[in-house]
């Protein structure tokens, strides 16, 4: 008898291991300003898109480096906190 496949639980993007891809499970658009939301959508960030955390910010709250598709972008800490991913995309 085969056990059902485990469904990955979405985690915050900041918790994704570096250089491991994940798929965007949800974005809490309400935590972002209208210009931030619009810019993320223009960059192609939405549910189902593959993302990868490349670099975490330091203790002083600097930006995170993330890959969205083929682009590398810097995202502020509060923007990263609004994005949840399913690991292993």
Q: What pLDDT, on a 0 to 100 scale, did the predictor assign at position 5?
A: 62
Q: What pLDDT, on a 0 to 100 scale, did the predictor assign at position 39?
A: 94
Q: What pLDDT, on a 0 to 100 scale, did the predictor assign at position 62?
A: 82
Left, alpha or beta for 63 (phi > 0: left; psi -120 to 50: alpha)? beta
Q: What pLDDT, on a 0 to 100 scale, did the predictor assign at position 9?
A: 84
Q: Which residues of the chain have pLDDT under 70?
A: 1-7, 89
> Which backbone phi and psi does 7 adopt, to 5 degrees?
-90, 120
Q: What pLDDT, on a 0 to 100 scale, did the predictor assign at position 4?
A: 62
C-alpha distances in angstroms, 67 versus 3, 14, 47, 54? 34, 13, 15, 7
Q: What pLDDT, on a 0 to 100 scale, did the predictor assign at position 88?
A: 81
What's the pTM value of the predicted model, to 2 decimals? 0.85
């Amino acid at each position: 008898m085969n056990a059902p496949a485990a469904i990955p639980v979405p985690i915050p993007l900041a918790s994704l291991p570096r250089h491991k891809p994940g798929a965007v499970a949800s974005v809490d658009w309400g935590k972002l300003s209208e210009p931030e939301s619009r810019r993320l959508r223009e960059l192609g960030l939405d549910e189902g898109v593959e993302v990868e955390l490349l670099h975490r910010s330091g203790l002083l709250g600097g930006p995170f480096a993330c890959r969205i598709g083929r682009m590398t972008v810097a995202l502020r800490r509060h923007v990263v906190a609004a994005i949840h991913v399913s690991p292993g995309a």
